[in-house]
């Protein structure tokens, strides 16, 4: 029979026929044969399995032949299986990878047959002694599975003592190079093999001392911490962590993750642990991932976490569709997004995909519960990061299918996931910083730590053509013009930078008011007043210095800023008292009075663009004497009448912007404790006070006074009343024979939130350079050619031609939404409906451009607004700075592209991560409309 087997193995029969003949031979194994024949058969079949060079037939068939004849000839087997034979088997290197597991299976079968024999103990000792070397020399998951099956059946074979630790590490090293097949059948086979190996590790570690477990975990950490781009540890390593309790895991992390640990190493570890979440056998990989994140927070390694979310948040989100690993990915996704309370960017990377994901999860009956969890998470994040209507509005319809969580639940989720930090941290996503420019061709601004209030002001001023051109064409060589120089630099980068977002750090340093605490949300209207005032002051001082250098000093007033509620750009120009209705010429009295007072005319950039003149008139009701005072203003603050405050009255009232303007110009009677001192009467008298515009500005700034102090709660509250905003606005002029000024809307700053001390600012804006000629002609025709007097009472009219004129649009209808680093195309209708979908998002500052005085025919073509023209106005120094930064940006993109190709998870470069102003306080970005959130932040800041 041995000769028959030998002939079959050496025959040239087709493999199929050859296999059938060998299987037929196996059926005759129960027949009595001589010892020599049996030994020959065992030698042939063992060489077939161990050496792999006897035949092309599968090694599993050789194992079957050997064990079949051995089971019927056990005495022969015991003589044949000496310790030398077993050592030879385990020392032989078989080049056929598929035959490796069969050698272990052959040994396993032999041990089963000889379990009751005296030779078993010696053979088991050989296996125990050579197991480590065999595992190292045969790195294959099927080999490990076969060894696991053998040792779980015969625990005598497991290495003992100090060798247990080495054995576990050898297994872990082999698991680290296990490839995951794409074929489903093969993949399930790998899953079964890994499960068996994991069972062996679990048994070994549970019966060994703690040093074995800790050493094994350190070995895992060493593998996944390798920063070599060529090293790709297999995700099956995730199976190792499920055999370790979390208390042990946390203890090991305390030892391995320290302040001295390289950021690059920790970044690699975190990325590979994210991959672990996709392994179906890693039942607690999410707990490990969250434990690592908590440890990174404890060590203040925030940049690693932010880079991780930037790189992997989309990957984690997309894995929610795989039901076997949905739970793990949902837990980590929720932890990351709820913990990242200082930046909305990770949430925004997935927000457009949420409706589709909800639909997919809802369609899968087993994942319905996860759909509800995702909806709840989304509601919390919408509360946490308000102020992005262009992103959120498409998602609201899908969310209507899920009940909104209670406010208590939302606040509890925010509080439970707060990070702790002693210093503020500012991080900007590298995917944002290194992305292509917006499709709008415009550049965003990096949020430097709750600086959305500043970013919106910069963008609206940039979209004001006259202001931008005057700033970029001015000479800013003087060292005293710090704010003008810095805003000129910002405008240069906004126009010519290749980056999608520019970080205006120098401008923030120069322009931030002294009382603005770094890192906290501020009032953008207050910042705008301060900025314009300071810019005007700088130009006045520079002009004085230039004049003093050419001529002797004069004793004239400098016309400095007076401040006050209306942020007037000058002190009182003149006060005149007269009786009756003395004739006036619009603007002439003001300029003559200013000249007599030695005050400068409206020559600064700020006054040329935004400056107008307001007249304050008081008429004594006793003698009729009139006192008149004129001041320069740069914005008009509009208060809300009592009947317009939400919840005060149900009376149907005019909620238009015109109604607020009318309320501002409404005459006020001065009586009681507020009586007027009349110089003619030389006593306190009742009087009537009026306010009127005598010289309208070229660009009108309207600030809505939405914030008030609540004496009961001792906090600033916000008036959420929705207002109708006209695209075309008429402003009355307080002068006989003067026509009202007509303005077109070009910028709206929106505040999202419930208080001036929290929330988020973004803006809608368009270029205000060139009015549409046809629309302007139609507007003039509707308003009677623009020559009719426009009084205060006319502002309330909304019928016929007036209503049509208010709806007319005379500027190019090319709106953009500026939201920090995000710049997107938008429409006026988007702004008009934003408060309906997001009640906390309300207009706060509006900017209008005067159009009734425009000569469209003489206006330069719109193409003159191109980047080339603006570039011609830049100084050589600025052009060089922009060009240098653009070259650096190209190199950064190349580096990022190389890093993505190599798949490196390192974070050697962490842009925009710093301790802003080296002070305490909350971290970057902004958001939130209520208490809670951020790095132990006070109620003042919600992020």
Could you report the per-residue pLDDT of 25-51, keeping only the tens digit for each?
888 888 888 889 899 988 888 888 888
Q: Provide mean pLDDT across the span 446-466.
A: 92
Top-confidence range, 41-45, 490-494, 883-887: 490-494
Q: DSSP code of 53?
A: -
Average pLDDT, the chain: 79
Q: Which pLDDT value is given to residue 813?
A: 80
Confidence of residue 551 (pLDDT cuts 50, 70, 90): low
pLDDT at 305 over 90: no
Tokens of 118: 């005296």
Model pTM?
A: 0.70
Q: Which pLDDT value is given to residue 738?
A: 65
Q: Provide mean pLDDT across the span 260-268.
A: 86
First to last CA, the chain: 83
pLDDT at 2 over 90: no
Tokens of 870: 């603006």
Q: Provide mean pLDDT across the span 882-895.
A: 84
* Of 329, 332, 328, nearest in space to 290 by CA: 332
Q: DSSP code of 248?
A: H
Residue-wise pLDDT tens digits, 399-439: 888 999 998 998 889 888 876 443 444 445 555 555 667 78
Q: Provide mean pLDDT across the span 816-838.
A: 85
Q: Provide mean pLDDT across the span 280-295.
A: 88
Rounded to whole angstroms, what are the CA distances from 47 to 43, 57, 59, 62, 298? 6, 12, 10, 9, 58
Tokens of 573: 């120009």
pLDDT at 580 over 70: no
pLDDT at 230 over 60: yes
**Percent of the chain clearing pLDDT 70 (strictly above):** 77
Q: Are 574 and 633 in contact (CB under 8 A)?
A: no
Q: What angle do CA 652, 763, 311 make, to 5 degrees?
A: 130
Q: Provide mean pLDDT across the span 566-588.
A: 45
Confidence of residue 393 (pLDDT cuts 50, 70, 90): confident
**Alpha-carbon gap, residue 413 to 95, rounded angstroms:** 57
Q: Which pLDDT value is given to residue 693?
A: 92
Q: Which pLDDT value is given to residue 438?
A: 79
**Alpha-carbon gap, residue 745 to 768, rounded angstroms:** 8
pLDDT at 855 over 60: no
Burial class from Cβ neighbours inside 10 Å (0-12, 13-18, 19+) for residue 75 reads exposed
Q: Are 518 and 921 in contact (CB under 8 A)?
A: yes
**Alpha-carbon gap, residue 505 to 528, rounded angstroms:** 17
Residue-wise pLDDT tens digits, 66-125: 999 889 899 999 999 999 999 988 887 765 666 688 899 999 999 999 998 888 999 999
pLDDT at 326 over 60: yes
Tokens of 544: 């004085």
Residue owning tokens 């070229």 = 698
Q: Which pLDDT value is given to residue 598?
A: 38
**Alpha-carbon gap, residue 273 to 288, rounded angstroms:** 8
- On the CB side of 901, CA atoms within 13 Å amount to 6
Tokens of 890: 């190209």
**Alpha-carbon gap, residue 935 to 198, rounded angstroms:** 40
């Amino acid at each position: 029979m041995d000769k028959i087997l030998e002939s079959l193995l050496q025959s040239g029969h087709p493999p199929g026929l050859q296999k059938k003949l060998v299987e037929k031979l196996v059926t005759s194994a129960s027949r009595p044969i001589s010892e020599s024949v049996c030994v020959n058969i065992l030698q042939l079949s063992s060489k077939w399995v161990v050496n792999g060079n006897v035949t092309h037939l599968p090694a599993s068939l050789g194992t079957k032949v050997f064990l079949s004849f051995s089971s019927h000839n056990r005495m022969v087997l015991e003589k044949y299986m000496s310790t030398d034979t077993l050592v030879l088997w385990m020392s032989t290197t078989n080049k056929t990878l598929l035959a490796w597991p069969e050698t272990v299976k052959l040994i396993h079968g032999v041990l089963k047959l000889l379990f009751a024999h005296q030779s078993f103990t010696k053979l088991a000792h050989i296996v125990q002694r050579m197991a480590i070397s065999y595992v190292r020399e045969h790195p294959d998951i099927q080999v490990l599975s076969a060894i696991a099956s053998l040792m779980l059946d015969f625990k005598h074979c497991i290495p003992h003592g100090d060798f247990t630790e080495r054995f576990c590490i050898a297994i872990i090293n082999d698991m680290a190079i296990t490839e995951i097949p794409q074929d489903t059948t093969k993949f399930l086979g790998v899953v079964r093999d890994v499960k068996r190996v994991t069972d062996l590790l679990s048994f070994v570690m549970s019966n060994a001392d703690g040093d074995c477990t800790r050493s094994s975990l350190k070995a895992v950490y060493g593998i996944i911490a390798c920063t070599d781009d060529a090293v790709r540890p297999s995700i099956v390593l995730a199976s190792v962590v499920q055999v370790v309790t979390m208390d042990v895991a946390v203890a090991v992390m305390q030892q391995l993750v320290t302040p001295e640990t390289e950021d690059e190493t920790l970044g690699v570890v975190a990325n590979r642990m994210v991959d672990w979440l996709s392994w179906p056998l890693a039942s607690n990989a999410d707990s490990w991932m969250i434990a690592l994140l908590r440890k990174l927070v404890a060590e203040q390694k925030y940049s690693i976490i932010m880079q991780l979310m930037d790189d992997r948040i989309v990957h984690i989100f997309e894995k929610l569709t795989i039901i076997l690993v949905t739970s793990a990915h949902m837990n980590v996704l929720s932890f990351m997004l709820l913990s990242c309370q200082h930046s909305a960017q990770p949430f925004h990377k997935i927000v457009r995909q949420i409706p589709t994901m909800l639909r997919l999860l809802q369609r899968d009956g087993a994942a319905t519960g996860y759909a509800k969890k995702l909806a709840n998470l989304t509601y919390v994040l919408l509360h946490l990061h308000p102020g992005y209507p262009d992103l959120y509005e498409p998602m609201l319809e899908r969310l209507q299918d899920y009940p909104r969580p209670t406010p208590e639940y939302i606040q509890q989720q925010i509080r439970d996931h707060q990070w702790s930090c002693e210093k503020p941290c500012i991080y900007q996503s590298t995917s944002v910083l290194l992305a292509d420019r917006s499709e709008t061709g415009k550049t965003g601004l990096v949020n430097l730590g709750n600086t959305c209030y500043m970013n919106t002001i910069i963008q609206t001023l940039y979209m004001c053509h006259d202001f931008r051109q005057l700033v970029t064409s001015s000479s800013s060589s003087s060292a005293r013009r710090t704010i003008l120089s810095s805003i000129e630099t910002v405008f240069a980068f906004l126009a010519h930078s290749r980056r999608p977002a520019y970080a205006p750090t120098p401008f923030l340093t120069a322009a931030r008011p002294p009382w603005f605490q770094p890192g906290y949300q501020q009032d953008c209207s207050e910042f705008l007043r301060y900025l314009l005032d300071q810019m005007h002051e700088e130009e006045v001082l520079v002009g004085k210095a230039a004049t003093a250098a050419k001529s002797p000093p004069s004793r004239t007033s400098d016309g400095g800023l007076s401040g006050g509620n209306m942020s007037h750009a000058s002190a009182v120009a003149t006060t005149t008292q007269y009786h009756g209705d003395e004739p006036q010429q619009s603007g002439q009295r003001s300029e003559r009075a200013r000249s007599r007072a030695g005050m400068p005319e409206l020559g600064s950039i700020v006054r040329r663009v935004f400056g107008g003149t307001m007249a304050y008139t008081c008429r004594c009701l006793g003698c009729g004497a009139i006192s008149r005072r004129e001041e320069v203003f740069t914005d008009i603050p509009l208060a809300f009448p009592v009947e317009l405050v939400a919840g005060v009255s149900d009376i149907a009232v005019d909620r238009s912007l015109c109604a607020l303007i009318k309320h501002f110009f409404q005459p006020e009677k001065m009586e009681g404790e507020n009586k007027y001192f009349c110089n003619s009467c030389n006593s306190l008298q009742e009087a009537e006070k009026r306010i009127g515009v005598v010289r309208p500005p070229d660009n009108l700034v309207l600030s809505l006074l939405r914030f008030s102090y609540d004496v009961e709660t001792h906090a600033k509250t916000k008036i959420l009343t929705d207002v109708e905003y006209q695209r075309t606005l008429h402003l009355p002029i307080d002068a006989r024979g003067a026509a009202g000024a007509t303005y077109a809307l070009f910028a709206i700053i929106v505040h999202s939130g419930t208080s001036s001390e929290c929330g988020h600012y973004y803006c809608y804006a368009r270029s205000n350079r060139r009015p549409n000629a046809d629309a302007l002609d139609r507007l003039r025709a509707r308003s009677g050619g623009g020559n009719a007097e426009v009084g205060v009472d006319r502002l309330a009219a909304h019928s016929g031609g007036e209503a049509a004129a208010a709806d007319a649009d005379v500027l190019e209808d090319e709106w953009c939404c500026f939201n920090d680093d995000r710049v997107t195309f938008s429409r006026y209708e988007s702004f008009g409906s934003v408060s309906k979908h997001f009640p906390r998002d309300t207009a706060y500052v509006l900017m209008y451009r005067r159009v009734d005085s425009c000569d469209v025919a003489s206006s330069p073509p719109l193409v003159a607004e191109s980047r080339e023209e603006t570039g011609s106005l830049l100084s050589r120094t600025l052009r060089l700075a922009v060009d240098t930064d653009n070259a650096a940006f190209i190199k950064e993109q190349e580096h990022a592209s190389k890093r993505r190709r190599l798949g490196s998870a390192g974070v050697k470069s962490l842009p925009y991560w710093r301790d802003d102003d080296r002070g305490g306080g909350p971290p970057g970005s902004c958001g939130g409309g209520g208490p809670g959130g951020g790095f132990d932040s006070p109620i003042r800041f919600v992020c």
